[in-house]
Structures are given as C-alpha cells and as structure tokens.
Amino acid sequence: MLRDRLTALIYTLAAFAACILWLVISRNGYAVHPSETHFLLFLGPLLFAFAYPTSLFAGDHNDATAVAARLRSAAVLHGTGLAITTITFVVLGSQFWKNPLRGLSSVSFLATAIAVDLLFLAAAVLLLTKTRAILPRFAKYLVWPYWLVLALAFSEHFFEATSAGAALSFLYLAVSLALAFAGGAVRYRPTISHVAALPAVIAAPWVYSHVIKDTPLGNVWTSFNIPDPDRMMGKGFFLLVTSIVLSVTLMALAVATAAIRLTPARWKILGMPLRDRTWPSVLLTFAFVAVWFSQSAMPYRASGAVDYSAWPLLKIQHVQKQGFQFHETTVGLWGYRAPDTVSFSANDRRLFQFRFREKGSRTELPAALQQNVNAVLDSLRGTSGNIETVRPVRAWNADEWYLIGENIGLHSYTAGTTPPPEVIQLFHDLETLPYPREYSSELRDICLGFCYDPLAGLGYLYANHRCRYDATKRDYVCR
C-alpha cells in the first residue's frame, strides 16, 4: 500500500537524519565532511533495527499468542537495555574527562567497531531475506552495548552536562533506533510502528537547545548568509548546514506523521479518515519550518562575530529599486579624526536571488574635496537618528538614502524624502572619483533577497553587529 510505503520511507529517513544530526553536533560538523566516514559505524545497528520487526511479526499472522510472547520478550530486553545504557552513559559520559572512551580513534578500536558493524549488517540481511540463522538472535543482545560505546566514543569534545542533560543526549541518539524500527514495522503492525516513532518528540528539547535556539553568534539559517563560506569556513560548510536543516525537518515530519496516523478513525477530512492522509503531516511540518525560518533568518545577518579595526567617519548609501531589481551604491569616508580615504561599493541584486556580487574599491581623498567634506561632516556631527527603524525596502519602486558615521546617528530618507543637497552633491562627487583597483566579494541571502536591508549594505553584516542582549527581555534581540 502506497500510504504504508511512504510512512516507512519517512520513518527510515528520519532515523538516519537523527543519527547524522547527533554526529554533526558531536563532531563539530565533521560528520558530513567528505573525508569523514565514522557515521558508517552507526549504519549496521540502524539497518538491523529496521529489519528486526521481521523476526517479531513475519510468518505468524495467525498465531497471536506467539507474536504477543515475542513482543513481551523484546519489550523487556530492549527496555532494560535502554535503561541500563542510559544510566551508564550518565555515569561515564556526563563529564568529558571521566569518559573512558573520549576521543578514542585507535586502530584497534576502529577495527573492532567495524567488525561489529558488519555483524549487524549481516544480521539485517539475514532477517530481510528471512534466512534462518543464529546471528540475528545473537545480534539483538549487542545493540545497546554497541550503541553505548559509540555514544561515549563520539560525544562532543569537552562534553559537560547535568545528569538530565546527559540522559537526554543519549535518549536522542536512541531515538534513531526507534525510528528505524518504526520504518521496518509499518508493513507488519502499523499501530506499533507509529507508537514507536512518536517518542521521537522527546528529542525536541535537545534539538531546540543545540540547533534551533538563536545565539549571539547566529543560528543555522543565518549560517547560509556567511560571505564566501568555502574560504571562511572551509569546503563542505554548505553541505553541513543543509544537512542540519534537512535532519530537523525529517524528524519533525516523522513526529507529525506518527501523530496523524494515531488519530481515531472517526476523524475524517473530505470523507476520508485523517490517519489515512499524508498531506496534513506535510502541512504541519511546513508550518513548523516556516516559523523556525522566519524567527531565525529575519532580520538579515550572517553567523559569526567580526570586529572592524576602524569605522567610517561617514557613509552614504543610495538604494534604487525597480520591481525585482536593486541597485545599491555606498561611499565611505575614512581616516583618523580627519578623512583621507574614500571607499566605494556597489551591487546589482535581484529578489529571488540567493548569491550576488558586491564590487568595491578604495582611493585617497583629493585635496580639492577636503573643504566640502569637512563642511558636510560639521553639519552632521551631533545629530541623532534611530537605527531600529531601518527595514528592507518593500516598495515596488523606491529611491532611498541612508547615512551613518562617527557621532552621527543613522539617518534614513524614505517615502520621497531626500538628504540635504550638500550631502547628495558630495555623494556624486565621491562616486565619480577614479580608483586604481577594484575587488569583488560574494554575499548571500537565504531569504532570496527579501531580508537583505540597508543596514547590511552599510556594513552591519554579522550577528554581533545586529544583535544585543536586552536585559528587560533577558534575551538577545536582533535589529
């Protein structure tokens, strides 16, 4: 049946996603690096968990007593295994320096782990092909000890947690086994399968604290905005953040699917039981991701903290918008007490564009303009403005101006207003200066151009530029 196959696929993909996400956090992102293969050590137990329902349910559809006995035996075995390994992980793994397997990567350990992993793979194949053998019966007793060893060996560096936090971390990793089991059980006992998948919701606090929660350095979504990520963060960074988003999305889809499948048969939509439909769970997942995205990606900022050694005495930005097209030009005056250098930057970006190029240059300030520059700076010093009022340009057609600098509050001229004539004249005089060389950099906007705003164009690109701690709200607030 298509519905059951789709459900099994969702649970199985979510199982691998949950395992990869745990590894990504624990390995500081290296779990998805092309040269990293340690995630393969988790593959065998996951496939064995997927195949395990075959030994519980297959071949005895008419013998309810035998199936019930096997289920009770399995529940006792794995319930006890989960409890013992969770307690052991709390005792041994709560403090990194007391973890006997911390950072273990010796040849003997890897060889042993690979051998056990292959044992699970062989047992899974035997179960799926319904071949009678002693290996699957033996393998089920090794699942939890092996899972505990992997959890201890790959716990994040300098992992320190309370007993509850350590237990939650291990239970989150155990969720991937439950989801794999749920994926394999769908075709035999759908209700048991959905009940096994639903506890994945217990991973929500761990996922929120490690992935979803915003931090002073940004979040997963703002990591997509890092300029030239391959140069700044290393190759594979885009794959890393993409895998995190997909993993959380798949887990949310699995939980929503399990919840929908367990609704009463009398709950119907358009004459069909709700539990027989898949689109409601997809819709719930989409709503979750949309809220997560909107709360994380806006206002615009790139993850990271960058401090500049100098700040311009004055920056003037001119933003022109026609339909989807933007043309933004910024000139800046730099120097110690008195300006002696001019910077220039410009970009032509469009809405629904993820990447765009910004060109820039720098040259000396001509002596002929020095008097005009000083006059403009003297007229602007001490004036106040409100940086909190700057928003992305939404009008279909717009012609807007912004300026900011030392001892000059941010001034925005929108809705038909314009700066003083001497400011506009100075902007055009500086814009037409010849410059000896030009550089180009790549900027990104995960909102496809809808989040990038004049503040970003003025240099407020990173999280430490856009976010501050609000003592009244006891949280970080971004502008």
* Residue 476, amino acid: Y
Measure Cα distances from 450 to 215, 222, 398, 423 in Å. Answer: 22, 14, 15, 28
> pLDDT category, 109, cuts 50, 70, 90?
confident
Residue 467's H or E segment, with its range, is strand 467-470
Q: Rounded mean pLDDT of 208-226?
A: 89
Separation of alpha carbons 148 and 143, rounded Å: 9
In DSSP notation, 194-208 reads HHHHGGGGGGHHHHI
State residue 435's pLDDT score.
Answer: 77
What's the pLDDT at 5? 92
pLDDT tens digits for range 404-462: 888 888 888 988 888 999 999 999 999 888 877 788 889 999 999 999 999 999 988 89
Confidence at residue 374, expressed as pLDDT on a 0 to 100 scale: 87
Q: How far apart are CA 234 and CA 214, in angstroms?
A: 23
Q: Is the pLDDT of residue 357 over 60?
A: yes
CA distance 165 to 99: 15
Instruction: Specify whether the backbone of 449 is left (phi greater than 0), alpha (psi in -120 to 50) or beta.
Output: left
Q: What is the pTM of this model?
A: 0.89
pLDDT reading at 290 higher than 70: yes
pLDDT of amino acid 446: 96
Tell me what the mean pLDDT of segment 81-92 comes to. 94
Q: Is the pLDDT score of 475 beyond 80?
A: no
pLDDT digits 0-9 by tens, 376-404: 888 887 666 666 678 899 999 999 999 98
For 24-28, 98-102, 233-237, 441-445, which range has the lowest pLDDT when averaged over its residues? 233-237
Q: What mean pLDDT do residues 360-366 have? A: 90
Over range 42-64, report the average pLDDT.
83
C-alpha angle 319-340-348 in degrees, rounded to nearest 5? 20
Report the alpha-carbon distance of residue 83 to residue 23 in Å, rounded. Answer: 22
Six-digit token string for 444? 């990104």
**Pairwise pLDDT comparison (34 vs 320), residue with the higher score:** 320
- Provide mean pLDDT across the span 39-60: 88
CA distance 268 to 276: 9
So what's the pLDDT on residue 451?
A: 93
Query: Which pLDDT belongs to residue 217?
Result: 85
At which residue do the structure tokens 């990606």 appear? 297
* Cβ contacts of 144 within 8 Å, gap of 6 or more: 78, 81, 82, 84, 85
pLDDT at residue 60, rounded to an integer: 54
Terminal-residue alpha carbon distance, the chain: 50
d(CA 328, CA 319): 5
Q: Tokens for 181?
A: 């089991």
Q: Determine how β-strand 397-405 pairs with β-strand 341-350.
A: unpaired
The rounded radius of gyration (Å) of the Cα atoms in the chain is 29
Is residue 103's pLDDT more than 70?
A: no
- Coil/strand/helix, residue 86: helix
Segment 307-325 mean pLDDT:
88
308 band by pLDDT with thresholds 50, 70 and 90: low
Mean pLDDT score across all residues of the chain = 88
Average pLDDT over residues 185-205: 92
Of the two residues 46 and 61, the one the predictor is more confident about is 46
User: How far apart (Å, rounded) are the C-alpha atoms in residues 229 and 443?
Assistant: 10
Confidence check: pLDDT of 104 > 90:
no
SS3 content of the chain, % helix, strand, coil (to 5): 55, 15, 30
If we measure between CA atoms, which residue out of 182, 204, 324, 332 comes closest to residue 261? 182
Predicted local distance difference test score (pLDDT) of residue 221: 95
